[in-house]
Chains A and B, each alone.
Chain A
Amino acid sequence: MVSKVLVANRGEIACRVLRACKEAGLTSVAIYAANDAKSLFVELADQAILLEGDSITDTYLNQTQILQIAAMTGADALHPGFGFLSERAEFARAVSQAGIQWIGPSPNAIERMGDKMSARITMREAGVPVIPGEEIETENEEEALIAIEQASTRVGYPLLLKASSGGGGKGMRAVHHPEDLLEAARSARREALAAFGDGRVYLERLLTGSKHVEIQILADRHGRTIHLGERECSVQRRHQKVFEEAPCPTMTEEIRSAMGKAAVAAAMAVNYEGAGTVEFLLAPTGEFFFLEMNTRIQVEHPVTELITGVDIVREQLRIAAGEPMSCGELHLRGHAIEVRLYAEDAANNFLPAIGPLAVFLPPEGPGIRLDTGVRQGDEVTPNYDPMLAKLIVWAPSRAEALQRMRRSLDDFVVLGTVTNLRFLRELCDVTDVIEGTTDTTMIDRLWPEGWSPSLPDEFEDGALMAAAVAESAGLHRQNTSNHDASEHSGPVSPFITLKRRFP
């Protein structure tokens, strides 16, 4: 039985899960740090409990405190979202031992997939193709370096060194020449040790020109493990996905079927339960190789939801409650694209930005979905990830979806904080994106010296004129700041002045 779900996360994904709980008729509990007291997700929960402490370690990563809150509120299930504690096997174990249903796979499955080397071995044994390479199990630095050097001659160049406990590009090095190997191996080990407390690295052949394609999996306790087709997430910046779509534009029925089978085999090899994602590299030859498995809900899950009609989070709740998944035979329909809206200055080396969301007006219309954890009047702070929202569009064809995304991004108004909106908009006009021939190196290839917007002079004239007219017409005096808007009644005017000093 699942009746009361504690959501151990914040922001956008917490909102997504809390809304799903409400729709499923489940009671929900949010946990929040003091600096999140006014965040949207807190008000979406039936009950919200303050986490003591200031740092992320003391709050959203504090397993003891979260378990105490779960016990205190009588929660009988826990949804970890993504990031934070979502892939910590020891937390999943502690939650289960406390008699609370972990909404996700078993701790054992998380462990076997979390360690990249053991995942490769598990997959190879399950008959899933892995990238040619070699695992180096030894912890000892000297032995590891010797083994890496020997393995490199068999793997061949260019090659990739990857941390076994890695993620987010940490402990990862591309090596193009044998003479650079030892230095790269030493620094990858150092970085991995510092970031994950585990310096083990392994070798993989570097497959250039490949696409990042992943398969969404669902598995229930009634013997059903299915895949929901693929997503392509090749457009990445420093291993951070920015533009995701489903289906993959170059996918064939044959490859989808083979990749889907491999993903289901991967999930069954670890007795997987719930929602998960198996990531592959798809080479231009049509060959594909296992990259890793993410044992949690993924940021880009909405594109799959839009083309399959399956509510993946709702299915997670159902599966955790021991029910069979509700979806029947799947038919992929149309095309979906997601972009990630970040508070960052794309023209200034993508530096994170902070500020007020003085105006936050998302686009509207058919086929548009916005998953966000913020609303107008919120403050973007440096405390957490700078992702503000995911904008997802659906249309019958890829060309129409891309056109809808362009229109949506043009209509999206965010004032007060710098965002990557324009960068995303210009991505939609890149030839590789239009033709669907994106690969994982595209952004670096297109903008090696950094990105800057192409801006017609006359638009700047228009903006300057707008600012000058707004100032002359006294638009900023028609409303006071959001911070002291308490005496203001009636509809909120769009002229929001956050200025604290009256001129």
Chain B
Amino acid sequence: MHHQFRTAQGPVEITLARAGEVWHLGEHQATVEHDGRLMIQLASGTSGFATVAKVGDAWWVHFEGHTFCLERIEPGASQSGDEGGLTAPMPGKVLDVLVEVGQLVEAGQTLMVLEAMKMEHRILASAPGQVTGIHFTVGEQVQQGSVLLEMVEDEN
């Protein structure tokens, strides 16, 4: 199984193999415990439990006293990629929602306004289309990478 994550050092590609209950990544091994933690055995012989939680598109992992936030890059996702612009660029608060579900919008139209780090950020439609989902209302806090709105772009 193939996954891509964004780390502090840049994007990383992971290809997992599975044999019964045991997952393999190169020489490393992992099993899923009944309580949802993962037992990780590294090639070096180090082993320990990892606790995980998914928030937005990011997997948070606690392993060996370290905490990691690994943003998953969805295969073929246009809306959550760098170009989509419909995800929150940083943590903040929704100041204004300027569209409704079902509304037709033009390219460049402001869909939502966020306040983050004391500055306003406008979330713009990158292409003409129709808004199909709004996930936050005015006053709500959003996390970095949260999907704010969804839209279907016009085909042409």
Contact = CB atoms under 8 A, between A and B. Distances in A.
Interface of A: 353-356, 358-359, 361, 379, 381, 409-411, 413-416, 418-419, 421-422, 425, 453, 455, 458-473, 475-476, 478, 493-501, 503
A467 B72 contact: yes
B138 interface: no
A467 B67 contact: no
A466 B53 contact: no
Interface string B64-94: 1111111010100000000000000001000
Given A358-B60, A466-B30, A472-B1, 16 more contacts: A354-B141, A355-B91, A359-B62, A381-B141, A415-B62, A462-B28, A462-B50, A463-B63, A466-B40, A466-B63, A467-B61, A468-B5, A470-B54, A472-B3, A475-B32, A495-B52
* Residue among A381, A415, A455, A476 with most chain B CB within 10 A: A415
Nearest to B64: A459
Contacts of B30: 465-466, 469
A465 B40 contact: yes
Given A459-B66, A462-B42, A493-B36, A467 B28 contact: no
A387 B18 CA distance: 42
B7 interface: yes
B28 A468 contact: no
Contacts of A467: 3, 5, 52, 59, 61, 68, 70, 72
Contacts of B133: 501
Interface in B17-69: 18, 23, 25, 28, 30, 32, 35-38, 40, 42-44, 46, 48, 50-57, 59-69
Interface stretch (B96-104, B105-113, B120-128, B142-150): B142-150
Given A358-B60, A472-B23, A463 B70 contact: yes
Given A464-B7, A464-B12, A501 B55 contact: no
B65 A416 contact: no
Given A464-B5, A469-B30, A455 B66 contact: yes
A469 B23 contact: yes
Contacts, number: 172
A468 B55 contact: no
Contacts of B146: 500
A461 B64 CA distance: 12
A500 B135 contact: yes
A471 B48 CA distance: 19
A415 B50 contact: no
8 contacts: A416-B55, A463-B66, A464-B14, A465-B25, A468-B5, A473-B32, A498-B54, A500-B136
Contact of B3 (A416, A459, A468, A476): A468
B16 interface: yes
B102 to A, nearest CB: 17
Contacts of B16: 465, 468-469, 472
A465 B28 contact: yes
Contacts of B66: 422, 453, 455, 459, 463
Nearest to A452: B8
B63 A361 contact: no
A359 B37 CA distance: 12
Nearest to B93: A382
Given A475-B52, A495-B53, A425 B65 contact: yes
